[in-house]
Amino acid sequence: MSGIRETIITAFPGAKEVSAWTLTGNKNLSITVLTFGGIVQKILVPDKEGRLVDVVLGFKNPADYSGPHPFFGATAGRIAGRVTRGDLTIGETKYPLPINDPPHHLHGGIASIDRQVWQATPLSREDGAPSLKLTLTSEDGENGYPGKIELSVIYTITNDNCFVFETEARSDRPTPVSLTHHSYFNLAGEGAAPTDDHELQIPGDSAFEADEWMGLTGECHKVEGRPNDARSARPVGEFRKGLWKEHGDLYWLGESKRVRPAARLRDPLSGRILEVATDCTCVQFYSGIGLDSSLIGKSGFPYPSGAGVCLECEGYPNAFDEDKRFGSIMVEPDLPQRTRTEYRFTNQSTSLISS
């Protein structure tokens, strides 16, 4: 049945008051969101016969998210992605950010918003779609960032099997914000074989250059003729072998006030398709190469390299200076920043790859 329900987690470390909220749409697509980190613990997707499969990596026990993990399902920020060498400069003032992915700053730093408890409020919509709003205040100076910001994230399951992820940021002074949703997707199921056979398509015709440590150099190149060209669907396993360190790249989508296609992923075994659309300027593809079987998933099996892939819609992480080539992630007082990303699930037997 469609709707929304809360489950109190009584054994969360640190005696934190954490809840799990499950949102179910009228076609049985459902997500479970933790107030800890705004983490999406579970996404259940029906197949053609209505059988539900969990398609995101993570832990069965919510308390395990308080331990080490690679941002499974998290809301990442204040700045998603890598700020090169942690060098945040606004005007003439430098704000050194903590280097938590040497030599760069990654996903907001240490114990950032993905490690804090958000406040939850169910929302009422005219169409009856289940919707949940999480809010969090990040204080001035937290992880080196200037300004006090009020963050909100809205999770909605629409009537056509779409998971909508919306963000809003308000600040009392100019400061950069770029949030992303960081699920690892395996459309065959979170405990299935690695995603090598998944078919990936990214319409972006340009991607950013990275240095030896995956930090951005500020250079953006056309993908035509390069190994990172995914404008036509390609098997993930084959595709990642041509990427630097088999990691994945940040693709430039351009500026837009409306959502438009950012990526498409298909599992050939089940026929499940995930279509991602966003009004963000970039999408980061991550191959999951860093998984090493040390983490045990919800099905009781370890997650090997490539067990899931990420499609992180975000702003250009270094878009906080006067160079506006790649947009801006700055939030100004009295001018809130809003983003919208959609994850639409369907099932189709036809391959995305042209024969």
Would you state the pLDDT for residue 332? 96
10: number of Cβ within 10 Å: 9
Q: Above 90 in pLDDT, residue 46? A: no
Q: Above 80 in pLDDT, residue 14? A: no
Record the tokens describing residue 346, joined without a space. Answer: 């369907």
Q: How many degrees, rounded to 5, is the angle at CA 71 between CA 217 and CA 158? A: 105
Are 236 and 321 contacting, i.e. CB atoms less than 8 angstroms apart?
no
List phi, psi (to 5°) of 40. Answer: -85, 105
**pLDDT above 90 as % of the chain:** 88
Residue 336: exposure state from Cβ atoms within 10 A (0-12, 13-18, ≥19): middle
Maximum separation of any 2 CA atoms in the chain, in Å? 59
Would you state the pLDDT for residue 354? 63
Query: For the chain, what is the mean pLDDT?
Result: 95
Q: Give 139's pLDDT tier (boundaries 50, 70, 90).
A: very high
Q: Above 70 in pLDDT, residue 349? A: no
Q: How far, in Å, are 148, 213, 215 from residue 247 at the CA level?
A: 33, 11, 12
Closest by Cα among 353, 83, 81 to 200: 353
Closest by Cα among 201, 156, 180 to 313: 180
Domain boundaries, the chain: 3-347
| pLDDT per residue as tens digits for the range 149-199 | 999 999 999 989 999 999 999 999 999 999 999 999 999 999 999 999 999
Q: Above 80 in pLDDT, residue 123? A: yes
Reported pTM: 0.96
Q: Above 60 in pLDDT, residue 297? A: yes
Record the tokens describing residue 267, joined without a space. Answer: 């599992």
Q: Above 80 in pLDDT, residue 131? A: yes
Would you state the pLDDT for residue 13? 85
Residue 125: exposure state from Cβ atoms within 10 A (0-12, 13-18, ≥19): exposed
Would you state the pLDDT for residue 6? 96
**pLDDT above 70 as % of the chain:** 98
Q: Above 80 in pLDDT, residue 353? A: no
| pLDDT per residue as tens digits for the range 73-94 | 999 999 999 999 999 999 999 9
Are 157 and 132 contacting, i.e. CB atoms less than 8 angstroms apart?
no
User: What CA–CA distance (Å, rounded) separates 339 from 82?
Assistant: 19
Question: Could you tell me how many residues make up the chain?
Answer: 355
Place of tokens 């709003």: 133
Q: Return left, alpha or beta for 73; rule: phi > 0 is left, psi -120 to 50 is alpha, else beta.
A: left
Q: Which residues of 88-106 are buried (b: 16+ CB within 10 A; e: fewer)?
A: bebeeeebebeebbeebbb
Q: Which residues, 6 or more positions from 156, have their beta carbon under 8 angstroms from its beta carbon?
A: 23, 123, 125, 129, 130, 131, 132, 163, 164, 166
Q: How far, in Å, are 222, 261, 265 from residue 205 at the CA level?
A: 6, 12, 17
Active centre residues (catalytic): 182, 312
Would you state the pLDDT for residue 49? 77
Q: Above 80 in pLDDT, residue 252? A: yes
* CATH code given to domain 3-347: 2.70.98.10
Query: Are β-strands 250-252 and 206-210 bridged in parallel, bridged antiparallel, or unpaired?
Result: antiparallel
Record the tokens describing residue 1, joined without a space. Answer: 């049945």
User: What CA–CA distance (Å, rounded) separates 329 from 316?
Assistant: 7
